[in-house]
Chain A
């Protein structure tokens, strides 16, 4: 079962009336959608509004989602269209080469498709996150580091990682969990969530 299958399982639960499952999808993809929109919308106060609108639109359209594409690809297009509508409502055009580019390029959060409109605060935070992640990775024992890199960056399954690392699948599972915990522990002081910001 792939990550896409996990998303599809959540989607089918939403389609059976489980709103809570949608909350998990929002939680999972809010950063990627916010990042995407932050590269299109200059005003940071508008980004969250447009992101919220995109997520609600996606929820309303979810009964018609058949899983032909990955959930994120589908959500991404809704976010792009919501951003376009946002500019249309303001009588402005999206600050890109052309709106067609938005639809043609996928998975380009860090690509050249859009110009970066990040604020100095966002740039600083991004730098701090990078430093925290590097710190966490450097401190990890090599077997944990290899396991998490193969999983998160290479997208390999536990079986494949077990074969590559010549160890049981249970060990892979444990290593990935401990590596995740270590990275999350470095990020907590930087991006900690207040109690009232929990859902």
Chain B
């Protein structure tokens, strides 16, 4: 009975092993390298051969290093890795993922821009804001959020006076809204 019949494992073709040997030395083409890595992932026999070829290299360079061969250590580390979360490095943010991140950033910036154009003029002076913009903002808010505030301002002359004073103060500074807010909120309660 030949060796190939003594085991149910497939006998690896010499060409496969020669390719593995070349891969270890970094002598395969990029497309072949990808295939080899996938095969190493899925074929335990090829992985075992990977280990033997590496061991042969270690043994040629140092007998002491080769004598430290502890296959059980690799099994232990592999088992310990199973409970580790997947670690993603910055290199992973390439290609489509990177484009997706950039697209997200652009979307956020565009949303902030729309907010600045539509909402800020309205906050400063609802009278001066273009009618279209006001209606856009109103629609964007679904109408419901703006309506109670308007109703409240209309129903309270004191609050209306407060908003008017706030707008006048806000128009004066470099960071008008913020300065006015800080000034107002910094004053002790009367």
User: Do A and B originate from a single complex?
Assistant: yes
Chain A interface residues toward B at CB < 8 A? 1-3, 5-6, 9-10, 12-24, 26-28, 30-32, 34-35, 38, 48, 51-52, 55-56, 59-60, 62-65, 109-110, 118, 122, 125-130, 132-133, 137, 148-149, 151-153, 157-158, 173-174, 176-177, 180-181, 183-184, 187-188, 191, 193-194, 196-199
* B91 close to A (CB within 8 Å): yes
Q: Across the interface, do A27 and B51 meet the contact criterion of CB distance under 8 Å?
A: yes
Q: Across the interface, do A28 and B59 meet the contact criterion of CB distance under 8 Å?
A: no
Contact of A177 among B18, B55, B89 (CB under 8 A): B18
Contact of A127 among B63, B81, B91 (CB under 8 A): B63
* B153 close to A (CB within 8 Å): no
Q: Is the interface of B mostly helix, strand, loop or mixed?
A: helix
Smallest beta-carbon distance B189→chain A, Å: 50
Given contact pairs A16-B91, A31-B70, A23 touches B64 in the complex (Cβ within 8 A):
no
Tally inter-chain residue pairs, CB-CB below 8 A.
Answer: 206
Q: Across the interface, do A183 and B59 meet the contact criterion of CB distance under 8 Å?
A: yes
* B188 close to A (CB within 8 Å): no
Could you list some 16 contacts between A and B, CB below 8 A? A1-B27, A15-B89, A15-B91, A19-B82, A24-B50, A26-B73, A30-B69, A35-B62, A56-B84, A127-B63, A153-B60, A157-B25, A176-B21, A187-B55, A199-B74, A199-B78
User: Which residues on the B side are within 8 Å of A65 (C-beta)?
Assistant: 89
User: Complex: how many Å from CA A199 to CA B76?
Assistant: 9
From 48 to 74 in chain B, residues with beta carbon under 8 angstroms from any chain A beta carbon are 48, 50-74
Contact of A191 among B24, B53, B55, B64 (CB under 8 A): B55
Residue on B nearest A10 in the bound complex, by CB: B37
* B26 close to A (CB within 8 Å): yes
**Top 8 closest A-B pairs, CB basis?**
A15-B89, A1-B26, A63-B89, A130-B63, A177-B21, A126-B67, A183-B56, A34-B68
Q: Across the interface, do B66 and A27 meet the contact criterion of CB distance under 8 Å?
A: no
Smallest beta-carbon distance B15→chain A, Å: 10
User: Complex: how many Å from CA A151 to CA B51?
Assistant: 17
Contact of A22 among B24, B56, B81 (CB under 8 A): B81
Which one of B39-47, B113-121, B155-163 contacts A? B39-47
Q: Across the interface, do A129 and B67 meet the contact criterion of CB distance under 8 Å?
A: yes
Chain B interface residues toward A at CB < 8 A? 14, 17-18, 21-27, 33, 37, 40-41, 44, 47-48, 50-78, 80-82, 84, 86-92
Q: Across the interface, do B74 and A173 meet the contact criterion of CB distance under 8 Å?
A: no
Q: Across the interface, do A62 and B63 meet the contact criterion of CB distance under 8 Å?
A: no
User: Complex: how many Å from CA A34 to CA B76?
Assistant: 14
User: Which residues on the B side are within 8 Å of A28 (C-beta)?
Assistant: 54
Smallest beta-carbon distance A96→chain B, Å: 17
User: Which residues on the B side are within 8 Å of A31 (C-beta)?
Assistant: 55, 58, 65-66, 68-70
Q: Across the interface, do B73 and A30 meet the contact criterion of CB distance under 8 Å?
A: yes
User: Complex: how many Å from CA A130 to CA B62?
Assistant: 8
Add 10 more A-B contacts to A31-B66, A51-B70, A137-B60 (CB < 8 A): A2-B26, A3-B25, A5-B26, A17-B88, A30-B74, A129-B59, A133-B59, A133-B60, A177-B22, A188-B52
Residue on A nearest B64 in the bound complex, by CB: A126
Smallest beta-carbon distance A134→chain B, Å: 9
Q: Across the interface, do B75 and A198 meet the contact criterion of CB distance under 8 Å?
A: yes
Of B44, B68, B87, which is in contact with the most chain A CB atoms at under 10 Å from its CB? B68
Residue on B nearest A179 in the bound complex, by CB: B56
Q: Across the interface, do A193 and B66 meet the contact criterion of CB distance under 8 Å?
A: no
Contact of B88 among A63, A128, A158, A187 (CB under 8 A): A63
User: Which residues on the B side are within 8 Å of A14 (C-beta)?
Assistant: 87, 89
